[in-house]
Amino acid sequence: MPLMTHTASELAQFLGCTMEGDGSIEVSGVAAPASAGPSDLIYVDHPKYLEQAAASAAGCAVIAPGLALAGKTLLRAANPKHTFARAAEWLMPAAPIATGIHATAVISPTAQLAAGVAVGPYVVIEDGVEIGAGTEIGAFCFLGRGVTIGERCRLYARVTLYAGARLANRVVLHSGAVIGSDGFGYVEDGGKRVKFPQVGEVDIQSDVEIGANTTIDRGSLDRTEIRAGAKLDNLVHIAHNVRIGENTVIAAQTGISGSVVIGRNVSFGGQAGLGDHCQVEDGAVIGGQAGILPGKIVRSGQIVWGTPARPLEKFKQQFVWLSRLPDLAKRIQMLERRDKTDTVSEG
């Protein structure tokens, strides 16, 4: 990954931070406090991390208001972790996925590639594909007929876009992602299953990031939609006609069934499962391994856990009782033996 060296003053100006200390020190990377070198940037967002930060070799730290840290150049930020992430992106820009158009790429003469598009080895780009300026396509990717990709997208190796898939700007697809595959829809008649049409669309809006080996099905007759800023982890499955709102985050191994509607700023823990036609409203939190039954609604701001999913406080109460079941069973067995002994004595 290429590094860029800047002074602390330049970094403070870029980040819009107030600086305290020597602004001339050079900063070229980011690191955790324990592994940081003199030119690395660290961050401190809680008093409990001050001791570790003080012992670090880092010369510069992004730090929350009200915290003190001697011997280092400080950049004050209300949200140090967010500011640190912005600094990392500036100091350590991502390495290119591809440069130029590789000789082994197979590109249809009807495809339209804007200025600065890079295409890696053995990429296949079919008829009618449109790719925006500055987009990078990694080795062995497949772009089916009529795919459209916006500007400055990044497709890592072996991404597959089925025919007609649409990506907006700055979308990132990690290796093995499959966008626009057929949904799992069949009609039963006389004991046999006939495939229901899977001819809809898939639309991924700007600034979405999709993890490795994640699959997103096209709509059946309508469309599947991932709205701006959503982030999907590795090994997530999104079925046909699902709508996912802005800035929602979904952790690994989550499975979302057909026609589920998810609002904005929803958070999913890993291995959550949603039945078809569920609705998850804005700002809800779905705990890890939670299971939501078909057709259920999770209300705005609600936190749910368990299978079937229930409000967090109720889940915690029930979990406490479940953990006590072995002891309660022993007590019941003891009472039953005592009752049997008393009955025999009375007889």
Q: Which residue's structure tokens are 């966008």?
A: 179
Question: CA-CA distance, 246 to 250, in Å (whole number)?
Answer: 12
Contact 4, 90 (CB under 8 A): yes
Question: CA-CA distance, 113 to 125, in Å (whole number)?
Answer: 10
Tell me the CB-side half-sphere exposure of residue 208, using CA atoms within 13 A. 27
Alpha carbon of 41 to those of 4, 9, 26, 69, 89: distances in Å?
12, 13, 10, 14, 12
Catalytic residue among 174, 237, 240, 277: 240
Question: CA-CA distance, 70 to 26, in Å (whole number)?
Answer: 18
Q: Which residue's structure tokens are 């991924």?
A: 204
Contact 184, 166 (CB under 8 A): no
Tell me if residue 46 is catalytic.
no
Instruction: Give which of 198, 195, 192, 205 is closest to 223, Cα–Cα.
Output: 198
Instruction: Give which of 109, 235, 246, 259 is closest to 168, Cα–Cα.
Output: 246
Instruction: Give which of 91, 129, 134 is closest to 111, Cα–Cα.
Output: 129
Question: CA-CA distance, 263 to 269, in Å (whole number)?
Answer: 16
Contact 137, 98 (CB under 8 A): yes
Tell me the CB-side half-sphere exposure of residue 22, using CA atoms within 13 A. 10
Residues marked active site are found at 240
